[in-house]
């Protein structure tokens, strides 16, 4: 039985990882925003001392106070492979 992907190849997602100060956990999520859009929003939140507001790929809003941001990693999301297929 063959299955096909329902997601379009044109819809690229950006993976975002935010380190939060005074916490051992990170915030990890995917967004449909581009890398440059995410970086611009992070820079603006820090520069204007406001809350960083990003939307994940499921439509949920992620809010992080500017003074709690330790680091932000932004990169292209890779397809996750499951199983024992040859690479």
- Residues 44-82: pLDDT tens digits? 999 999 999 999 999 999 999 999 999 999 998 666 656
Report if residue 40 sits inside a domain: yes
Q: Which domain holds residue 18?
A: 14-76
pLDDT-based confidence at residue 85 (cuts at 50, 70, 90): low
Per-residue pLDDT, 57: 93
86 φ/ψ angles, rounded to the nearest 5 degrees: -70, 140
Specify the CATH number for the domain of residue 69.
2.30.30
Report if residue 42 sits inside a domain: yes
Report if residue 41 sits inside a domain: yes
Distance, in Å, from the CA atom of 48 to the CA atom of 23, rounded to the nearest integer, reads: 23
Under 8 Å between Cβ of 68 and 21: yes
- The structure's pTM equals 0.74
Question: Smallest Cα–Cα separation from 29: which of 68, 66, 67, 60?
Answer: 60
């Amino acid at each position: 039985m063959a299955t096909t992907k329902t997601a379009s190849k044109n819809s690229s997602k950006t993976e975002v990882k935010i380190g939060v100060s005074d916490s051992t956990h990170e915030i990890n999520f995917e967004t449909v925003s581009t890398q440059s859009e995410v970086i611009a929003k992070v820079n603006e939140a820090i520069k204007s001392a406001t809350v960083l507001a990003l939307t994940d790929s499921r439509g949920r809003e992620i809010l992080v106070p500017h003074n709690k941001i330790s680091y932000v990693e932004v990169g292209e999301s890779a397809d996750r492979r499951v199983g024992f297929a040859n690479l």
